[in-house]
Chain A
């Protein structure tokens, strides 16, 4: 059978006992490894982030263009609305400029948008590219996949949030040092929405169903006290607004931006953290259900 075949260089593969020290064993780890089910988590989730970085290193302009969107928003408010709308009541009860009121809300809203739409694109990788089928044949588990993809979405949102905060500071809209905490706030809201977006991506059956997501995200953006305070709503409607995760992010951001901290913030953080953890867990389970059949 082998007559005529050229002399072959066999890969060093196949010498199972003479492998280099680095090979063979996953080098990931960390504290999560001890807490989580070993069958779905190998501590290698960052390797999937690497893949995204590799892809975007060729398309970094796409990343940069995302920075401009919030910038345009801020400019529109600065130039347009501030001349029409006077001061509003800030979180501490004192008056503040309308732009300073809206800016932190826009920051978290853009973190939400970025995270949701980035993780929704997982739909294509899941259904058509069969990317995760290949990934799950390696030591990586479903939780690695979920954490990896969510992390990338969060990193990307964090990048935009940082740019946004820079612009806010340059416009004199972030005066309190507490405003630096807008970045972790944006990361938290991005984690929660990335996790939910990923769950949605596993539930969708066709790309036309993306419209359902849009139909939820859009009103959430408009009505989560983004553009006016909660006091605008009649008390009987407020519970509905409080169900919106974005509302909790906006309350946090607005308070931090004005430098007024209060204990209710713990509740907001808790709400978002629970959502993020729950979403992550469900996303990991859904991927397993879809791919490990």
Chain B
């Protein structure tokens, strides 16, 4: 890897050191370091208010950093905002479509803001409406579209300039399962064609499917980093035994089972027992006369990592 004098990896599409964001007296991002390589799919996970959107907006050059250093495509957002924004696509967490324009006009006008020619945006709009499956609504106003359709349009709009880097802040929130799967597949293809993806999500299955590498943020800091599989290996056990109880009664059984697992997570209606061999643990649980409503043996997922890192665990 080549490094410039400033210590930045110049093959990195995004590179942040001690990155901070302060709003008045509140520090939303409290000094984070990360790098995103070209062509990578990079995910930001974390509970509400962790600072994911604040970080995304700094990368998108729509929010100035208040500390640390940041390079996007090798440039500093503070001084080269327009040049960076010309080469990235942004899908913000809340849609900000142009409500006075039609679906087609939204795409065309937005393309024009990038300095693209009329002929180019005309063709691009047709292509992107197909991508978003909105061709039959092409000349309709945006306002009456359903929430999911608006979301699809916002995502399509983020592609109008053929971006090298696509920033997606909770892209699939509000999409139906079919639309989600379709989007996953399209994002996957974008990635294959060399586009760098940076996304936030609250869907752990989505993060597992899409991301090569993840960071988990909490309280403005990065608390873990790695590939989905690596994180599961590092922060969870191989298997999980889920014991479901009547909501509220689950805490009664904690003391009876806590020595059977490496870790026990208490959710409102169930206990999660983290162990190497969940079947064996299940057998020992029933020996102790603990009778859950139902029980389930499964592999660990990213959700378990998330709970461990950002939730509260009882036994560690």
Contact = CB atoms under 8 A, between A and B. Distances in A.
Question: Is A bound to B?
Answer: yes
Interface of A: 1-2, 5, 8-17, 19-20, 22-28, 38-42, 44, 47-48, 50-51, 54-55, 129-131, 133-141, 291-293
A20 B120 contact: yes
Interface in B172-229: 181-182, 184-186, 188-190, 193-195, 209
A224 B195 CA distance: 60
8 contacts: A5-B181, A13-B163, A50-B109, A51-B112, A137-B62, A137-B85, A139-B86, A293-B23
B204 to A, nearest CB: 14
B137 interface: no
A24 to B, nearest CB: 6
B127 interface: yes
Specify the main secondary structure of chain A where it touches its partner: loop
A174 to B, nearest CB: 38
B78 interface: yes
User: By CB atoms of chain A within 10 A, which of B90, B100, B114 has the most?
Assistant: B114
Interface string B71-103: 000000011111101110010100011111100
B174 to A, nearest CB: 17
A131 B142 CA distance: 13
User: By CB atoms of chain A within 10 A, which of B90, B105, B115, B164 has the most?
Assistant: B115
A22 B161 CA distance: 10
Given A13-B163, A14-B195, A23-B162, A2 B85 contact: no
Nearest to B191: A14
B131 A9 contact: yes
B245 to A, nearest CB: 32
A51 B105 CA distance: 9
B292 interface: no
Given A1-B184, A38-B79, A22 B117 contact: yes
B54 to A, nearest CB: 10
A138 B114 contact: yes
A38 B80 contact: yes
Contacts of B105: 54
Contact of A10 (B60, B124, B189): B189
B26 interface: no
B99 A14 contact: no
B120 A138 contact: no
Contacts of A16: 162-164, 193-195
B194 A26 contact: no
A48 to B, nearest CB: 8
Contact of A135 (B113, B124, B184): B113
A124 to B, nearest CB: 10
A2 B113 contact: no
Contacts of B124: 11
Nearest to B23: A293
B315 interface: no
B120 A22 contact: yes
A239 B209 CA distance: 72
B82 A140 contact: yes
Interface in B143-158: none
B78 A39 contact: yes
A39 B86 contact: no
Given A27-B117, A138-B114, A5 B185 contact: yes
B209 A11 contact: no
A14 B190 contact: yes
A10 B181 contact: no
Contacts of A133: 62, 92, 96
B63 interface: yes
Contacts of B98: 51, 129, 131, 134
Contacts of A14: 159, 162, 189-190, 193-195
User: By CB atoms of chain B within 10 A, which of A5, A44, A138, A139 has the most?
Assistant: A138
B190 A38 contact: no
Given A5-B181, A11-B128, A16-B162, A24 B86 contact: yes
Given A2-B185, A12-B127, A22-B116, 11 more contacts: A2-B188, A9-B127, A16-B164, A23-B116, A24-B161, A26-B86, A39-B78, A54-B105, A137-B62, A139-B82, A141-B81
